[in-house]
Amino acid sequence: MFQYDVEYDVVVVGAGIAGVAAAVQAARSGVKTALIEKSTLTGGLATSGLVWVYLPLCDGKGKQVTFGLAEELLQESLKYGPGQVPDWKNGKGRYSCIFSPASFIVALDEILEKNGVDTWFDTLVCDTETDGSKVTAVITENEDGRGRIRAKCVIDASGSCKVARHAGIPVHDDFNFLSIWAIQYNPEITWENTESAPCIQMYLDGVPWNPETAPEGTLFRGLNAKMVSEFTFKSRRLLRKYYSLAQHEHPEKFSRKNLFPITVPAMPQFRKIFSIDAARVLNTGENNFHFDDSIGIAADWRKPGPVWEIPYRSLYPANGMGGFLAAGRCSGAAGDAWEITRVIPTAALTGQACGLAAALCVKNNVNPPELSVSLLQKELGKLNIPLHLEDVGLVCDKKENA
Q: What is the pLDDT of residues 26-81, one digit of tens each?
A: 999 999 999 999 999 999 999 999 999 999 999 999 999 999 999 999 999 999 99
CA–CA dist 75, 222 (Å, integer)? 33
pLDDT band at 194 (very low <50, low <70, confident <90, very high): very low
- pLDDT level of residue 210 (50, 70, 90 thresholds): low
Identity (one letter) of the amino acid at 247?
Answer: Q
Q: Which of 7-11, 243-247, 263-267 has the lowest mean pLDDT?
A: 243-247
User: Pseudo-torsion of CA 376, 378, 380, 385, nearest 10°?
Assistant: 140
List residues bridging with 10 in a β-sheet.
Answer: 33, 153
104-115 mean pLDDT: 98
Mean pLDDT of 315-328: 97
Task: Give the CA-trace dihedral at 314, 317, 318, 320, to 10 degrees.
Answer: -140
Q: In 157-190, where do the E strands start and end?
A: 171-173, 175-177, 179-185
Residue 369, Cβ density class (10 Å: 0-12 exposed, 13-18 middle, ≥19 buried)? middle
CB distance 34 to 12 below 8 Å: yes
Please report the pLDDT score of residue 197 as a whole number. Answer: 64
pLDDT at residue 372 tops 70: yes
Write down the pLDDT at residue 203. 64
Cα distance between residue 260 and residue 244, in whole Å: 10
Average pLDDT, the chain: 92
Question: Could you tell me where the DSSP H helices lie in 123-188?
Answer: 162-166
pLDDT score, position 206: 44
The answer to whether 163 touches 180, Cβ cutoff 8 Å, is no
Q: Which letter does DSSP use for residue 214 in this model?
A: P
Contact of 97 with 54, CB cutoff 8 Å: yes
**8 Å CB contact between 306 and 394:** no
Q: What is the mean pLDDT of residues 234-242?
A: 90
Q: Which 8-state DSSP code applies to residue 13?
A: E
The pLDDT of residue 250 is 82
Mean pLDDT, residues 345-368:
98
Q: Taking residues 192-206, what's their average pLDDT?
A: 60
Q: Of how many residues is the chain composed?
A: 402
